[in-house]
Structure 1
């Protein structure tokens, strides 16, 4: 069957909860695509919601909308979305150790959600089988069947979703109001469910009742940076949950640890600080006497002032032990009253690429 004179069905029909998908070949561009249309009894508004959501989002970690079309078959008109075809496997509960692959997978999901939220969209259905992983390890959010615009149509008379990934506020009496915090809760449940220990029993209750230590007790070996923020994601009050952008930053702290490099240039001297050389002591002296010196230590995530001799300023602010240096700044070393020598401090800005 050739749809709209362009798309040839090459795979079996796959019915879902609210839609039907067909794997097709785009005969003009010779590429595999997925065509998605609604189940007969589904609300037509859901297709429009999905269309609006996908049109707003451009992300390496979210399925891409390629085309919108309508076609007639047996006297009935079908509205459809044409989506990129992502070859790979859906996430499954209980498949991960807590390791670099686990962190990378969750960072990619959080990154996709961050870009969805930046577009003003609530996904509302984050769960393992709505996440696909390619053979190269690229992770994409693939279904927008329940998505809505923030502040426009973000309340319903009834809750849709899949327990136990539904946030507790969705289980209250209607009308049900949902925000981006709904997705943040679902993300944390997903993070707990995909480890080999499986989902904690406290999250299988209705309503869910996660213990205040469920993350630390269930995700044994999880990096300490991630424990508090994942626990906050499960807070029963959506207003207390972090933004997904904060979650992304926490995962980046873990994934980018020990990958930064700082350079200090003072006069003709260059000092570097990195994983291989964690401490530098740039100073101004006459060869015998040190007039001003700052000791900087790299702790794997940032550059910290350990000690100061004499007067050293960081961007016109007096340096003090414990201060964290910005990614780029000017250091001023006082050699004599009113006389300063200046140094530049710059940090490479590594990006995580899965």
Structure 2
């Protein structure tokens, strides 16, 4: 245990011990460099001596440092000092969710859902960055004095599991998923299971499984289904009951496939707690989906599992459930009967649809004009929608509405689409294909992860900026008084070698030199940010400082010629110091024109009575602004046929085009400009 007043790395002063876990001790400390209080997690000796674990621990902790989210405890620094391995984190003034549950006994349904949504939001951020927590439990959830919920220990549990550390170090087995307890592959659905157990405990004040040893409890997770909260709270709303049941399904493929879907259901449960909208599913061998029966839901609610008898007709205590193949064999008669019934119903429906198609043409909406057009389409076929640019949830919903299946073919890095959004589909939009065909989707993993370059700390500012720009990283400056020479980088955040996305902003803390007010050669640097370049240069010169390089960059919000940043902020500094400026070049698209084409069909030109318009002055408006007309087409009487014109605009995307003849609108449509 570290004593009060002990310094780590000549920077962090230990103030008090605030907690302990299986792998580490947690201390409140003061960061003397940035003058703020922080939390420091120090690895226990038995783990510090394991070089393999320490290596994984540092990599995972640095990955966790790249997670920036209001529901995640921020990681500021990772390091080692004289054999002490530590993580510096945001200090949360509050208590753990575990302590909060112990204090209150049970939480209300509304409070449980609210806390669960915040936890899930934090987990979603990690999952979007391909980080699985692996140790979600109330002990790893902090609640601040303001009521903000934050998840901690991201990356640490992953390092532990990667190093096959035993169960005592991995935290409480009460929240472990079946696949993790069984040493199988662990993915995002494992975190969903653990969150479901946490919600169970919030509502009931107890965990669903307990026992005399960790092995006993782990086996219960592997072999048994979590009982319903209704066993302990008979009046709990059906929505939250089913949400927890779906999260804690013994088989991972029956849980929520993504935490975003869980968040959606939790939000709906806040406004519609008594609506039975959560779908519980089970899979049979052929891959089709059938709904769980009322009897099966009641079995889940009771938490009971029928015992299988041995060869002597006695209950076998070592068998707690029917294997999937046995279960499928037992129910095959009912499945076949159901299929026969479905075939009969399908035949009747198909006959009805065909008769409707023959007697009435199906109406489809033209996606360009918005008007209804009549067409005939085989009822066994459907038109493929465009799902590129949609989230996974939106894409699935859109394709399912068209009676099409979905399969995720690949996940790829993409600079244009954020993580979780569709970047490619296997069948082009508008193509008519058979219903129930599967569309293969490629999903964005977001911008490719890159390392913050080494050698930033301690380098001069120009060198640091050059290294960041070589990696396509942005930078932001904060100046502080320091014993280091002016424009020397004191620190950076995220730290060196942390994983970030291309285009992320790295915060550089830079020295402005020592604060020597008594020195007669010291003056005050003026604040010139937001001023025009010539005025800024004049103010700097008049104050006794030199104007250095002027760098121009595009900026979507700041107009051209305005100073965005100065290399040394306003404050005391030796006179004669060189101050460089960053100036806006304005918007990159300020002078860009977007173009498109549109064809007016001559046969569409009709007056209010439906008669062809044969003469009249032509005007074309795009979003209300007039477009130039070819002299040959300035009067309808001159039109030899259809008229295709080129359109230009300052704005990108969809626009409204109008054709006016003698001041009356004859044609209105939508066009896309690129």
Q: Answer yes or no: is the 8 Å Cα contact 2:204–2:229 preserved in 1.
A: no
Give the superposition deviation at 1:121.
Answer: 0.9
Please give the alpha-carbon distance, in whole angstroms, between the structure 2 residues aligned to 1:40 and 1:317.
72
Q: Give the match for residue 130 of structure 2.
A: 120
Q: What's the C-alpha RMSD, in Å, of the aligned pairs? A: 3.6
Question: Which of 5, 15, 23 is equivalent to 1:18?
Answer: 23
Please give the alpha-carbon distance, in whole angstroms, between the structure 2 residues aligned to 1:157 and 1:84.
26
1:307-354: per-residue Cα shift (whole Å, max 9, x none)? Answer: xxxx9x897598xxxxxxx9xxxxxxxxx9x9xxx9xxxxxxxxxxxx
1:126-149: per-residue Cα shift (whole Å, max 9, x none)? Answer: 111111111111011122331259
Question: Which of 245, 248, 259 is equivalent to 1:234?
Answer: 248
- Indicate whether 1:214 and 2:228 are aligned: yes
Higher strand share: 1
Please give the alpha-carbon distance, in whole angstroms, between the structure 1 residues aligned to 2:152 and 2:60.
11
- Indicate whether 1:199 and 2:182 are aligned: no
- Indicate whether 1:178 and 2:178 are aligned: no
Normalising by structure 2, we get a TM-score of 0.35
Give the superposition deviation at 1:88.
Answer: 0.5
Q: Give the match for residue 559 of structure 2.
A: none
Query: After superposition, where does 1:286-301 map in structure 2 within 5 Å?
Result: none
Q: Give the match for residue 30 of structure 1.
A: 35
Give the superposition deviation at 1:205.
Answer: 6.8
- Indicate whether 1:142 and 2:152 are aligned: yes
Query: After superposition, where does 1:84-163 map in structure 2 within 5 Å?
Result: 84-92=90-98, 93=101, 95-144=105-154, 145-147=156-158, 156=164, 160-163=170-173
User: Structure 1's 33 and 314: CA in aligned 2 closer, same or farther, altered over 3 A?
Assistant: farther
Gaps of 5+ in 2: 1-5, 48-52, 212-216, 274-362, 373-393, 395-607, 611-667, 669-674
Please give the alpha-carbon distance, in whole angstroms, between the structure 2 residues aligned to 1:224 and 1:105.
19
- Indicate whether 1:70 and 2:80 are aligned: yes
1:217-266: per-residue Cα shift (whole Å, max 9, x none)? Answer: 445444433333321211111122112111111112234669xxxxxxxx
Please give the alpha-carbon distance, in whole angstroms, between the structure 1 residues aligned to 2:241 and 2:11.
50
Q: Give the match for residue 14 of structure 2.
A: 9
Q: Answer yes or no: is the 8 Å Cα contact 1:126–1:165 preserved in 2.
A: yes
Q: Give the match for residue 264 of structure 2.
A: 249
Normalising by structure 1, we get a TM-score of 0.63
Q: Answer yes or no: is the 8 Å Cα contact 1:68–1:82 preserved in 2.
A: yes
Give the superposition deviation at 1:186.
Answer: 0.6
- Determine helix, strand or coil for the equivalent of 2:41: strand
Higher relative contact order (CA 8 A, sep 6+): 1
Number of aligned residue pairs = 262
Q: Higher Cα Rg: structure 1 or 2?
A: 2
Gaps of 5+ in 1: 259-310, 319-325, 327-335, 343-354
- Indicate whether 1:188 and 2:196 are aligned: yes
User: Structure 1's 257 and 235: CA in aligned 2 closer, same or farther, altered over 3 A?
Assistant: closer
Q: Answer yes or no: is the 8 Å Cα contact 1:155–1:177 preserved in 2.
A: no
User: Structure 1's 45 and 13: CA in aligned 2 closer, same or farther, altered over 3 A?
Assistant: farther
Q: Give the match for residue 320 of structure 2.
A: none
- Determine helix, strand or coil for the equivalent of 2:173: coil
Please give the alpha-carbon distance, in whole angstroms, between the structure 1 residues aligned to 2:140 and 2:20.
14
Higher helix share: 2
Please give the alpha-carbon distance, in whole angstroms, between the structure 2 residues aligned to 1:314 and 1:101.
47
Q: Answer yes or no: is the 8 Å Cα contact 1:98–1:222 preserved in 2.
A: no
Q: Answer yes or no: is the 8 Å Cα contact 1:55–1:65 preserved in 2.
A: yes
Q: Answer yes or no: is the 8 Å Cα contact 2:209–2:220 preserved in 1.
A: no
1:63-82: per-residue Cα shift (whole Å, max 9, x none)? Answer: 1011223322xxxx323211
Q: Answer yes or no: is the 8 Å Cα contact 1:155–1:178 preserved in 2.
A: no
Q: Answer yes or no: is the 8 Å Cα contact 1:19–1:37 preserved in 2.
A: yes
Q: Which moved more, 1:158-167 or 1:227-236?
A: 158-167
User: Structure 1's 210 and 53: CA in aligned 2 closer, same or farther, altered over 3 A?
Assistant: farther
User: Structure 1's 82 and 314: CA in aligned 2 closer, same or farther, altered over 3 A?
Assistant: farther
Give the superposition deviation at 1:157.
Answer: 8.3
